[in-house]
Amino acid sequence: MIVVKVGGGKDLNIDAVVADIAALYQAGRPLLLVHGGAETTNDVATALGHPPEFVTSESGYVSRRTDRRTLEIFEMVYCGQLNKMWVEKLQTQGINAVGLSGLDGRIFEGTRKDTLRVRVNGKRMVLRDDWTGTVERINTHLLHLLLDGGYLPVLTPPAASDQGEAINVDGDRAAAMVAAAFNAEALVILSNVPGLLRNFPDEESLIREIPRAKANDFMQFAEGRMKKKVMGAVEAIGEGVQRVIFADGRIESPVSKALDGGGTQIA
């Protein structure tokens, strides 16, 4: 199994990702796609008069403040606009894609953190009525049904809480959990950089290889959203994924090139 995670960044070459996935899939490589949508969600939230807010946890991670209205807009973009865009593009390539959120069939399941301890402008605050959480389990039953039935699953947040509520979860870490659940041969994480950079944003400073035992040490090079990608990679490797690759989603054949040794390889 190859799990491909593709972000929602606007400079990604979506048609190249689709063509490459279609070619690999039609060549018989078992595949699963997980996508995000943070950037588009920011735009739509702003257009709908409910602009995004971000908060920083006490351990330094940035996440989206997700009140009920934000959750609704998040679902509009991730599960509506973008999930169906990916499915349509794959369907027009002859791939029988099926788009699902982690809420559907509780594919991604975890605990809702209804109380968030955060820092806003350096001040400690406690946020309530928040709809975020972390994926703790992947329910593979539905995914196996789809894969065995000849469908290509296209997955996206939100996840389901233990009570069945929708929760905003990080897509990179969800993809890492999916890869772990399938003991994937590779988790390919595509974004708008060539991989993990020693001196962000200098693309010449690409780190080409990270020994799996040292993955955690490379956390120091992760900036911004890359932090959760590296965290997901470390988790995935720890749970038996053979290879994690951070690769460039702006180029032609981005998945094949990653599988052929491009980007940052953790193996």
Query: Does residue 141 belong to the site contacting a copy of itself (CB under 8 A)?
Result: yes
**What count of other Cβ atoms lies within 10 Å of the Cβ of residue 152?**
22
Task: Print the binding letters for residues 105-124 with a copy of itself: x by CB under 8 A, - otherwise.
Answer: xx------------------
**What count of other Cβ atoms lies within 10 Å of the Cβ of residue 194?**
21
**What count of other Cβ atoms lies within 10 Å of the Cβ of residue 115?**
10
Among 98, 184, 197, 222, binds a copy of itself (CB under 8 A): 98
CA distances from 25 to 32, 131, 190, 204, 265 (A): 9, 35, 17, 32, 22
Within 156-185, the residues that bind a copy of itself by CB under 8 A are: 158, 160, 163-166
Q: How far is the CB of 92 from a copy of itself (least distance, A)?
A: 4
Which of residues 59 and 163 has its CB atom nearest to a copy of itself in the complex? 163
Cα dihedral 231, 36, 154, 111, rounded to 10, equals 60
Query: From CA 209, how far away is CA 220, in angstroms rounded?
Result: 15
Which of residues 158 and 262 has its CB atom nearest to a copy of itself in the complex? 158
Task: Print the binding letters for residues 41-80 with a copy of itself: x by CB under 8 A, - otherwise.
Answer: ---x--xxx----------------------x--xxxxxx
Cα dihedral 187, 104, 72, 228, rounded to 10, equals -20
Query: Does residue 151 belong to the site contacting a copy of itself (CB under 8 A)?
Result: yes
Q: How far is the CB of 39 from a copy of itself (least distance, A)?
A: 15
Query: Does residue 23 belong to the site contacting a copy of itself (CB under 8 A)?
Result: no
C-beta separation of 130 from 124 below 8 A: no
Which of residues 49 and 224 has its CB atom nearest to a copy of itself in the complex? 49
Query: Does residue 227 belong to the site contacting a copy of itself (CB under 8 A)?
Result: no
Query: From CA 108, how far away is CA 25, in angstroms rounded?
Result: 23
226, two tokens: 């890359």
Among 11, 54, 62, 92, binds a copy of itself (CB under 8 A): 92
Q: How far is the CB of 155 from a copy of itself (least distance, A)?
A: 12
Query: Does residue 26 belong to the site contacting a copy of itself (CB under 8 A)?
Result: no
The beta strand positions in 17-115, using DSSP E, are 31-35, 54-57, 62-64, 97-102, 108-113
Q: Which residues pair with 35 in a beta bridge?
A: 6
Query: Does residue 28 belong to the site contacting a copy of itself (CB under 8 A)?
Result: no
Positions touching a copy of itself (CB under 8 A) are: 44, 47-49, 72, 75-81, 83-85, 87-88, 90-94, 96-101, 103-106, 141-142, 145-146, 149, 151, 158, 160, 163-166
